[in-house]
A and B are shown apart, each in its own frame.
Chain A
C-alpha cells in the first residue's frame, strides 16, 4: 500500500530534483525547490534566472530537474513565466503549472520591475523567491533582502549593512494579487500546503521561502534546519498568508524565543552588539503586532 495514503497530508514521494545536483552541503534553497516541486508535480515548467538555483540545476548537458527548464536573464523571471503561460494559453495547453524561481537578488532587486508588472497584470503564474538574504551565487554580496547588521563581502566589517531588509511581502500585497505566503524550509508540511493552495488559484501567486545558506551566513552545514526554525520561533521570519492583498492569516503560534538566539549563532551577525539586539527585538515585536492587527 502507498505509504502516503496512511498519513493525513500526503506528500508525494516522487522527487523532481535528482540527487547529484551541485548545491553546497546544507543548502536551504535546494530543499525549498524540492518541496515546491513536490507540491506542483511533474506537469510544471520552471523559469530560472542566473542564481544559485541556475547553477545547481543546470551544468550542461545534465539537468538536476525532471521538468522542463528555461534559463533567462536576471531581470526577466516573472515576465518569462508570463510569456510561457501566454504561449501555453495560445496553444490551448491548460493543465500545466508555470513556476518562476528566483533568489532574493533576482526578486527584490534586478527582477522587481518585471515581477511588479506581472503581478499588476495578474498573470497566471506562481513566483517563488527562495530568500537567502544576499547574492550568494556571486559570492555573498549584499542584496536589498540583506538584514540590518549583516556582514557580506560588499558590506564588510565595520561597515556592515545599516538599512533594514526590504519588505517584499508588503510590496507584493500592494498589488492585490490572489495569494501571497511566506514559508520556510524549516516547516516543509506548511510549505507544501501553501504551494498546493497557490496552485488552485488563478492569477499571480507569490511565495517567499526562507532558505538559510551555510556558506554565506557563516554557520556549519548541519544547522540549516535549526536556523530556519529559529528564524520563525524568534519572530524574525514570521509565517503568514495574504489573500487578495487584504486578508491576512498568521501561521500557527510557535514557541517564542528571543531573537538574539537566532542572531548569535551566525557568523554574518558577529559584529552585532547588545544594543543592536535590543533594536532588532523591538522591530520584531512591532512586526508581530502589525501582523496580528492585520489578521484582525
Chain B
C-alpha cells in the first residue's frame, strides 16, 4: 500500500514488517520518531516484540547483542552522539557475528553542537565490522531495512542503514509499504544459528589468542558480503520490482566528469548533470550505496571512462579530508593512475547543498587542469 510517510516512519514500518523480536533504543534527535512509532506498534500489539526502554545507547546496543546472541531478531536506531557512545559495542556485535540491524540517522557530532545531517558519525565507525548502507529516499530506506535482515542473517554480520537527519529522515514522500505476505516471501524467519542455549552450553566472547583467526574469518565474510548484497537486491527486485545495486550510476558510461557522493546529495547532482549535458558538458553521477564492504570493482567499472572525478563529501576527517574521497583514491590506486580526483567538502552540519553549489563544483572541476587542495563549499561569511 502506498503511504505518504517520512523516512523515519519508513524505518519503523520496515521493522514492523520484519517481525523483529527485540527492540532496545534510546531517543535522540533526529531519530526519536522511529522509536516512538515502534513503541506504539509494540504497545498496540501490531508488533509482537519486547521493547526495552534503555537508559543509554550503550545499553541499547548491549541489549541487542545479548538478545541476538540468545537467538532473537533485533533492532535499534540511533544517531550521532548515540552512535559514538555505542562504539565499543559495535565491535562486539560484529566480533560475535550477530545479525543485528540498526538505523542510524546521520547527524553532526559535537562540538560545536549541531542536530543536522552529517555523515561523519557513521563513517567514523567504518572499522567496526558493520556493513553500511547510505540511502537516498524513504522507499530505499524501507527496502534496505528488509534487505539488511536477509543479508545479516546470511553472513552473520551486523548491518547499519544510514539516512541523513531531517533532509531525509523528516521528509515525507510516497513509500510503497507492501503487504505482509509479500514481505514474508522475501524475509522468512531467521535461519538457525549457534546461540546461548542451556541444553547446549557454549560461551560467547571468550578470551583468546586465536583473535587474529576470528578477524580473518570476518574478513572472508566481508569479502563474500558484496555478492550476497547483490543477490539479495536481485531477489528483492524479483518480488518487489525495485532494486538499487551496490552503487547507483547515472549517465556514467560516456561521462567525461563523474560526481561521486552518497545519500541525498546525489539527487541534486543528477539534476545538475542533466543541465550540464544540455550545455555540452558530459557529467555523470555515481552514488555509493554500500560503503562497507566497499564496492571497489563496481566503482572502478563505473569510473573507467571518466577523465575527471569530483567527490562531494558530507563528512570530514580532520587532517585528511573527505572520507569518500580517500576511499575513491584508494580504489583507483594502481588501476587508472591518471584519473584525477577533485575533493569537495559540502553540507557539513546539515548545510544545504544546492544545485548552485554543485554547478560550482562542476565548473571548478571542469576549469582546473589538476586537482588542488580540498574545496570547502558553503562556508558562511
Contacts and interface: CB of A to CB of B under 8 A. Distances in A.
Interface residues of B, number: 42
Given A45-B196, A87-B72, A117 B207 contact: no
A90 B21 contact: yes
Interface stretch (A54-62, A152-160, A207-215, A228-236): A54-62
B53 A121 contact: yes
Given A58-B203, A68-B197, A84 B56 contact: no
Interface string A62-93: 01011111111101100111111011111100
B170 interface: no
A116 interface: yes
Nearest to B202: A68
A91 to B, nearest CB: 6
Nearest to B199: A43
B111 interface: no
A37 B52 CA distance: 27
B22 interface: yes
Contacts of A81: 66
B206 A87 contact: no
A65 B201 contact: yes
B203 to A, nearest CB: 4
Contacts of B49: 90
Given A73-B88, A83-B22, A84-B196, A61 B65 contact: no
Contacts of A42: 198
Interface of B: 21-22, 24, 48-50, 52-56, 58-59, 62-72, 74, 88-89, 92, 196-198, 200-210
Interface of A: 42-45, 47, 54-55, 58-61, 63, 65-73, 75-76, 79-84, 86-91, 96, 113-114, 116-117, 120-121, 123
21 contacts: A59-B206, A59-B208, A60-B206, A60-B207, A60-B210, A66-B201, A68-B197, A70-B203, A71-B207, A75-B58, A76-B59, A82-B66, A83-B22, A83-B64, A83-B67, A84-B196, A87-B68, A87-B72, A90-B22, A90-B49, A96-B198
Given A73-B62, A73-B89, A123-B52, 19 more contacts: A43-B198, A45-B70, A60-B209, A60-B210, A63-B206, A67-B201, A68-B202, A69-B201, A69-B202, A70-B203, A73-B88, A75-B58, A82-B66, A87-B66, A90-B49, A91-B21, A114-B55, A117-B56, A117-B59
